[in-house]
Amino acid sequence: MEALKSWIRDVPDFPKPGIVFKDITPLLHSPEGFRLCMDAFVEAHAGDSFDVIAGVESRGFLFGAPLALRMGKPFVPVRKPGKLPWKTERVEYALEYGTDALEVHVDAAEPGSRVLVIDDLLATGGTVGATIELFERIGAVVVGASFVVELAFLGGRDRIAPVPTQSLLIY
């Protein structure tokens, strides 16, 4: 997957000084790069047992929805507060540079459903940790988490253990 690195752009001091943001827009702009990325996700999860794919707002939608379509699975959006029109469960969590909250419809996954979470980036694990908690609250279980990019030096994988975690690129 090292080939994907050519489509990831470093943006220094975004969203605040000292952070080097991993920008995936060049990857999305490249049909070849995006196809390679999606093929890698399909291959990584072809033998996995899960019922639902959840994408975390907003960049997780870009990878989770097409992956769900390709794998014949339902897609569940995990959204920022106030964006979902039905009854929701909500979790507040700490980001690497602030706090936030996420919501999911209370009926997004059946009790006992096995959920694969997709997002663009694993940093400290706060966002995916909140997503795991959301699905636990509605009776589902997160059986895997998959990312385009992982910033290993921030320890996010440890925070979401024991959920199996897969990243296409690790920095």
Active site residues: 59, 96
Return the bridge partners of 9, or none: 23
Q: Which residues contact 161 (CB under 8 A, 6 or more apart)?
A: none
Nearest CA-CA partner of 7 in 25, 19, 18: 25
d(CA 71, CA 114): 14
User: Rg of the Cα trace of the chain?
Assistant: 15
